[in-house]
């Protein structure tokens, strides 16, 4: 599953950072390792764990909810508890799943910083962290959604969720019109990162 | 352990303070009125965390506000909403 | 308060408090996270795990205390780096002279590699 097509511009191998602030960060890191606060191996393991998280985790949860009504009920009632069934644990944060319907479209932001359920969705996109998204999506969500190619009909409620404290959010997109015979992994492959944030509403019926 | 002060459906006002310390209340909702959408759990008060003070747990709520009440000339649909998480010590009864 | 007369907006409490402010179009370009950025991210989490920092609130507070100019010109992880430095210096986990010496050392290392 990939929500980037191959025309996306990869940044070339990042040159070493030279800004004062970046070097401050790297210097801190070296001092902490020298002081034994943590080790380079622990750092490597932490980075590997963070890089291992991706929207495929969120997609698995969505596919299970599409297939299993009672799981969906549990997920919507208490997301943090329900995802433990799939091996995920976000505690002490409260994981909150927002169901898109014919009547409601949900979209998520953290205006104050960029809180994001990294364990379930991987690294947040640059645009999610951007000032323009954070400033505008709370005030003119439909205009911002239009920039993402999403038009929400006027009779559908757009509900913006500003992740201001200890909750982390994921949208449960509407299931596309697909065969009932698709397996859970096949369903999960249809779910994109942006649909889990709310900057995509319709999912394709095939990859 | 005291129970939650507010319940779902209750109208509340978000306080309009600007303390000098880290607090998780965006300016754009300060002073606004909304409805308790759900009662969440208890979490450490951010103001104390940032100041290195001992942990004090506060009840958290999700508050739902009509976009038309948040923004002058809101450009969306009249039923559009915005949900924010606000700690109990930032909420007041709406008079 | 009359619902017909929306309250005057509260003043932002810092450069981070930007919900609702005028801003430009969203740049949707994807950007890979650089290795040094992952290292900053890992540093925060490991520092918390090991007790050098107690809570994300410390990181956020430091970022919120940046000047508006710095907040705007620094990238996301540069802000983290500045905030982490501030927190760790304040707690005495590192000294400012050790930090400056290490920055100089890294610069020299980079220069010798070019």
Each residue's pLDDT tens digit, B21-36: 999 999 999 999 999 9
Q: Is residue A54 among the annotated active site residues?
A: no
User: From the candidates A19, A54, A113, A130, which is the catalytic residue?
Assistant: A113
Q: Work out how many domains chain A is built from and give that number.
A: 2
Are A20 and C98 a contacting pair at CB < 8 A? no
Check pLDDT > 60 for residue B84. yes
Task: Report if residue B1 sits inside a domain.
Answer: no
In this structure, what are the phi and psi dihedrals at residue B32, rounded to the nearest 5 degrees?
-90, 155
C-alpha of A184 from chain center: 19
**C residues 35-94 lying closer than 8 A (beta carbon) to A:** 35-36, 38-43, 45-47, 49-50, 52, 60, 63, 72, 74-82, 84-85, 88, 93-94
Q: For chain A, what percent of residues have pLDDT higher than 70?
A: 92
Chains that touch A (3 or more CB pairs under 8 A): B, C
Report the run of H or E that residue B59 belongs to, with start and end. strand B57-66
Which of A141, A156, A164 shows the shortest C-beta gap to B24?
A164
pLDDT attached to residue A91: 86
Residue C42: inside a domain: yes
Range of the domain at B40: 11-93
Over range B40-58, report the average pLDDT: 91
| Coil, helix or strand at residue B42 | strand
For the cut 50, the answer to whether the pLDDT of residue A5 exceeds it is no
Q: What is the mean pLDDT of residues B30-46?
A: 96
- Token reading at B25: 């209340």
Looking at the fold, whether A32 and A75 belong to one and the same domain comes out as no
For A113, other C-beta atoms within 10 Å of its C-beta total: 19
Query: What is the model's pLDDT at position A180?
Result: 82
Is residue A190 domain-shared with residue A142, that is, in the same domain?
yes
* Predicted pLDDT at A38: 98
Mean pLDDT for the stretch of residues A25-34:
98
pLDDT at B95: 67
CATH number at residue C98: 1.10.472.20
Query: Measured between alpha carbons, how far apart are the two ends of chain B, in Å?
Result: 27
Look at residue C9 in the predicted model and tell me its pLDDT: 75
The answer to whether position A74 is within a domain reads yes
Residue pLDDT, tens place only, A98-133: 999 999 999 999 999 999 999 999 999 999 999 999
Q: pLDDT per residue over C55-111, tens digit each?
A: 899 999 999 999 999 999 999 999 999 999 999 999 999 999 999 999 999 999 999
**Where residue B16 falls among pLDDT bands split at 50, 70, 90?**
very high
Residue C13 lies in a domain: no
Task: Calculate the CA dihedral of residues A43, A46, A52, A58 and round it to 10 degrees.
Answer: -150
Minimal C-alpha gap between B95 and chain A (Å): 25
Contact C103, A24 (CB under 8 A): yes
pLDDT category of residue A8 using cuts at 50, 70 and 90 = very low
Residue B55 domain flag: yes
Give the strand pairing for A157-162 and A104-109. parallel
**Mean pLDDT for chain A overall:** 93
Residue A6 has pLDDT above 50, yes or no: no
How far A114 CA sits from the closest chain B CA (Å)?
A: 12
The answer to whether residues A104 and A157 belong to one domain is: yes
- Report yes or no on A75 lying in a domain: yes
**Can you tell me the distance from the alpha carbon of C26 to that of C40, in angstroms, rounded to the nearest whole number?**
25
Residue A202 belongs to a domain: no
- Are residues A119 and A83 part of one domain? yes
Binary contact (C103, A27; C-beta < 8 A): yes
How many domains, in total, are found in chain B? 1
Per DSSP bridges, beta strands A157-162 and B81-87 are parallel
**Distances, alpha carbon C63 to alpha carbons B42, C45, C67, C70, C87, in Å:** 25, 16, 9, 10, 10
Tell me whether A143 touches chain B (CB under 8 Å).
yes
Q: What is the pLDDT of residues C22-44, one digit of tens each?
A: 999 999 999 999 999 999 999 99
Q: How many CB atoms lie within 10 A of CB C111?
A: 9
The alpha carbon torsion through A172, A177, A179, A183 (nearest 10 deg) reads: -20
Q: Any alpha helices (H) in chain C, and if so which ranges?
A: 35-49, 56-64, 68-73, 76-90, 96-113
Name the percent of chain B lying above pLDDT 70.
98
Suggest the residue from B57, B76, B87 to mutate for an interface test with chain A (most A CBs closer than 10 A): B76
**Residue A14, domain member (yes or no):** no
């Amino acid at each position: 599953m990939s929500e980037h097509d191959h025309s996306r511009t990869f940044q070339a191998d990042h040159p070493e950072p030279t800004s004062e602030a970046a070097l401050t960060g790297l210097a801190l890191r070296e001092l902490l390792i020298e002081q034994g606060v943590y080790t380079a191996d622990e750092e490597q393991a932490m980075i590997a764990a963070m890089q291992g998280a991706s929207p495929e985790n969120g997609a698995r949860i969505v596919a299970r909810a599409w297939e299993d009504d009672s799981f969906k009920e549990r997920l919507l009632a208490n997301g943090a508890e329900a995802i433990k069934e799939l091996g995920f644990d976000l505690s002490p944060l409260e994981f909150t799943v927002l169901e898109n319907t014919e009547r409601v479209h949900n979209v998520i932001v953290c205006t104050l910083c960029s809180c994001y359920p990294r364990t379930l969705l991987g690294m947040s996109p640059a645009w999610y962290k951007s000032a323009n998204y954070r400033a505008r999506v709370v005030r003119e969500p439909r205009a911002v959604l239009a920039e993402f190619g999403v038009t929400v009909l006027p009779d559908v409620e757009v509900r913006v969720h500003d992740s201001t404290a200890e909750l982390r959010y994921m949208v449960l997109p509407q299931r596309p019109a697909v065969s009932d015979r698709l397996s859970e992994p096949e369903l999960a492959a249809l779910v994109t990162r942006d649909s889990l944030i709310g900057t995509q509403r319709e999912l394709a019926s095939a990859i | 352990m005291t129970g939650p002060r507010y319940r779902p459906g209750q109208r509340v006002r978000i306080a309009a303070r600007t303390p000098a310390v880290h607090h998780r209340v965006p300016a754009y909702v300060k002073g606004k009125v909304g409805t308790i959408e759900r009662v969440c759990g208890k979490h450490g008060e951010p103001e104390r965390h940032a100041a290195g003070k001992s942990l004090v747990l506060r009840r958290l709520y999700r508050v739902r506000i009509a976009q038309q009440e948040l923004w002058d000339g809101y450009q969306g649909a009249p039923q559009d909403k915005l949900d924010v998480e606000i700690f109990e010590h930032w909420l007041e009864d709406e008079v | 308060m009359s619902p017909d007369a929306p309250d005057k907006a509260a003043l932002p409490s810092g450069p981070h408090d930007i919900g609702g402010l005028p801003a430009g179009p969203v740049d949707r370009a994807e950007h890979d996270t650089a290795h040094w950025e992952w290292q900053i991210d890992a540093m925060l989490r490991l520092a918390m795990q090991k007790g050098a920092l107690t809570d994300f609130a410390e990181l956020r507070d430091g970022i919120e205390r940046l000047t508006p100019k710095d907040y705007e010109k620094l990238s996301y992880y540069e802000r983290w780096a500045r905030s982490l430095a501030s927190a760790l210096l304040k707690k005495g986990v590192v000294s400012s002279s050790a930090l400056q010496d290490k920055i100089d050392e890294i610069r020299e290392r980079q220069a010798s590699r070019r």
